[in-house]
Every structure is written in C-alpha cells, then in structure tokens.
Structure 1
Amino acid sequence: MRWFRAARGAPTKGATRSRNPIGAERDPKRAVIFSDAVIAIAVTLLVLEIQPPEDTEHLLRGLIDLWPSYVAYAITFLLIGQMWVNHHVMFDHIRSADRMLLLLNTLLLMVIAFLPFASSLLAHAFESGHGKRTALIFYGATYELAAILFNVIWEYARSGRRLLTSTTDNDTARAISRRFRPAPIWIAAGTALGALHPVVGLVVVTAFIPFYWLPIKGEVASIKRTREQSLGDP
C-alpha cells in the first residue's frame, strides 16, 4: 500500500510529499529511441514468421494457401505501427521519465515484442483450421494487455502533471486520454466475440485500425496554438 501511494505521488505516513517519488526524473529521449528499436525489430520479425511453401512443384497453390499468414502479417504490422505512432504522441507530451514510467514502458515493449508470436499462432490456426478460437483469444488478449499499458502509462504521466511538458494543457491531455480509453473495451469486445466466431472477432479487433490512425483533434489544436504563440514571440 505504501508503495502504491508513492507511485501515485501521495505522501506516506511519516514522510513529506515528494515531487519525484519514484526516483530521479530523466530525459525520455533514450526511452523513445529504445522503444523505436524494439518496435522496429517486432515488425521485422513478423515477416520471418511467414514460411515459404515446401512443395515447389505446386508453388502458386502453396503461396495462395498462405493467405492467413499474409492477413495476420498485414493486420499486426498496421496495429504495431499504430502503437508506434501513439507511443510518439504520448512521449511528445512527456518532458521527463521517472523509474516507474520507464518500468511501465518496458512492460509495454515486452508485450509488443511478443506480438509476432501471437500473430504466427493466429495464422497457423487459420491455415490448419484448428484452434482458431483459442488463437484469436490469445491474440486479442495480447493486444488487450498492450492497450491497458498504454492507458496506464499516459494516466501515470499526466497525474498531477508532474511529467508533462509545460505546453501540454489540460484539454490536450484529456483529448489523448479520450482517444486511448476506448481501445481496451474495443479489443475486449472483439476477443469475446472471437470466442464465439473467430472471423467476426478478428474483424472487430481490426476495425479500430483506421480509427486510431486518425489525428487527435485536441492535440492538433494544442500544437497549432503553440506554433502561433512561438511565431508571435518577438
């Protein structure tokens, strides 16, 4: 309980409230660079999971039969790319990172690095026709964990505005929260439907790809205001 209250920035008994309860704050640039590297490796591993057909005498048919692998590759690549974009959205508004934020970010990267395996499992299940429900639930659960961690990281960073940049106003922070919050519910719904019908569940999980690629209106307005202010300064 004392550790949890410290993580939230609340004073513990016999201690004064600290501005940096979880270690010293650091420039988040190295965390962003490391995150970019992990994400780049994860999307590269996706294509390595697609195994060429062994029967070269019927190569065309073998290539066509790999369609589940192509679909899983495309969907997962776009989803990881989407997480990469939104990861930059978060860290563009985070001026410093303490140890708790770095830990949460590390957990997120651990899940992202696991996605090629979940994608491969899904593709093999649809190719064989067996275990599709289990594979879809496993795939959805992996994304669910990533979506939850995204929300936890952002809400921790904006709590008390300790780690946010001075140019990130409350409207911008709320706009980003509104964009992130539906993801766990959306993915959970798709995963639950996948337990009944794997194809429908996969379609629902995939459907939020275009939504999360859209710009965040509140964030765009904040960037415009910041640019206008900087241009107006002598």
Structure 2
Amino acid sequence: MTDIGGGTAMSTGRVEAFSDGVFAIAITLLVLEIRLPEEPRSHAHLWEALWGLWPSYLAYVVTFLLIGMIWMNHHRMFNHIRRVDGMLLALNLLLLMDVAFLPFPTHVLAEAITAGEGASAAAVFYGAILVIGGLFFNGLWWYASSRHRHLGDGITPAEARALRIRWGVGPLLYLVATAVGVFSAIASLCLYVFLLAFYFFDMRPRTSGA
C-alpha cells in the first residue's frame, strides 16, 4: 500500500480488483452484440439466420480470447508490481478504457463482414484499437519497471527488461495485422488468432531456480 497524490492509500489488490471487474464486464458485453437480423419466420429460416451470423461468432471468439489474453498478462504484470502511485493508476485506467471499448469495434467488424461492405475499414478500426491498447499496456509496464521503481524482489532488472522486449513486440504485431486488414478482414482476423496462440504462452522469463 502506498500514498496516492494527496495521501490517500491504495493497495495493488484494489487496483487488480477494479481491473478484473472491467475485464469481466467487457468480455461479457461481447455476446450482447450478437443479434438475429430479423425475426425468423420458420424453423428453416432460423437455421439460415443463425448460420448467417458466422462473422459475429468469429469476431466474438477472437475478441473474447484477446481480452482474456490481456487479462492474463495484466495479472502476470501485477504479480511483480508492489507499489502504486498516481501515474501508474492513470496508465492502468487508459488500458482499461481501451479494453472496455473493444465490444464496439468487434460489432462493427462483424456487421461489415456480414454486409460485405466496409470490411477493410472495419478491420483497420478494430486493429487500431488493439494497437492503442498494446501501447497503453506497455506504457504501464515500462513505467512500473523503469529503474525497478514499482517492482518487488520476485523479478530481477534483467527479467523486467526481457518482459519489456517481449510485450513490446505486441503492438508491432497488431500493427502488421491491422495493415493486412486493409486488404482482407478475414486474413487480419487469422493473424490475430496466430497472435493469441503466441501470447497465451507464459511470457515470463524463467529464473535460474525454476
């Protein structure tokens, strides 16, 4: 626990609890964006309508797992953070703002692919939100780990630098996937699936005692 600004104390536990709540709400709101385009007139029409929603299912799964991956790495990050100050809170809030916004570009992308119009623009918009979120995530870790100012004894300066490099690659890869979205929204989503497979692995450096 540490003093924030005017002397109000806050623990990392409170920051994590608030962050977890935002992640949970954002990941739940995704499913609310999946809607039938019109009321089915028959059993056959219902199956046709459900099948026609495949872009929404795909966008939902990819974004659900992306938010889950961000949450996992956010949890790993705060395993090492032991002190909180105003700047760290602000950076964490910016990251959460981006996460909470993700259901909207997810809906835009799914609707564009379904309509067959504007899919490239929607894919670029979706990717841009992920790039911005990646920058906020890395800004949070860079600030916390710079000069080891907010980290505990469970991670060495060398390990913190290694994480800065590994996590720092994320926004660059998101940017590549965003650029691909200019030509193909589906190809862009496939790249995000690849990034999920990459980042779902434990990115923490192994200590000599591990």
Q: Note the aligned Cα RMSD (angstroms).
A: 1.9
Distance in 2 (CA, whole Å) between partners of 1:179 and 1:213 is: 13
- Seen in structure 2, the aligned counterparts of structure 1 residues 66 and 211 have a Cα distance that, compared at 3 Å, is same
Alignment TM-score, normalising by the size of structure 2: 0.91
Q: Which residue of 1 is the match for residue 15 of structure 2?
A: 31
Kept in 2, the 8 Å contact 1:75–1:206? The answer is yes
What secondary structure sits across from 1:181 in the alignment? helix
The aligned counterpart of 1:230 is none
For residue 114 of structure 1, report the CA deviation from its aligned partner: 0.2
- Specify the alignment match of 2:105 in structure 1: 118
The residue matched to 2:71 in structure 1 has which SS?
Answer: helix
* Counterpart-to-counterpart distance in 1, 2:164 and 2:190: 24
1:142-153 correspondence to structure 2 within 5 Å: 142-153=129-140
Q: Which moved more, 1:162-171 or 1:121-130?
A: 162-171
Which residue is 1:54 aligned to?
A: 38
Quick check: 2:106–2:126 contact (8 Å CA) kept in 1? yes
1:77 has 2:64 as partner: yes
8 Å CA contact 1:23, 1:98 repeated in 2: no
Provide the residue aligned with 2:85 in structure 1: 98
TM-score (norm 1): 0.82
**AA of the residue aligned to 1:186:** L
Q: Contact 1:101–1:156 (CA<8 Å) still a contact in 2?
A: yes
Check whether the contact 1:194–1:201 (CA below 8 A) recurs between aligned residues: yes
- 1-side partners of 2:204 and 2:127: how far apart? 28
Counterparts of 1:195-214 in structure 2, within 5 Å, are: 195-214=182-201
Q: Are 1:107 and 2:94 counterparts? A: yes
The correspondence for 1:174, drawn from 161, 175, 178, is 161
Shift of 1:157: 0.3
Deviations 1:166-219 (A, max 9, x none): 22212321232122011111010111111122222222233100110011251x
Secondary structure in 2 matching 1:42: helix
Between the two structures, name the one with larger relative contact order (CA 8 Å, sep ≥ 6). 2
Percentage of pairs with the same residue: 43
Cα deviation for residue 22 of structure 1 reads: 6.6
Cα distance in structure 2, aligned partners of 1:176 and 1:114? 26
Q: How many residues align?
A: 204
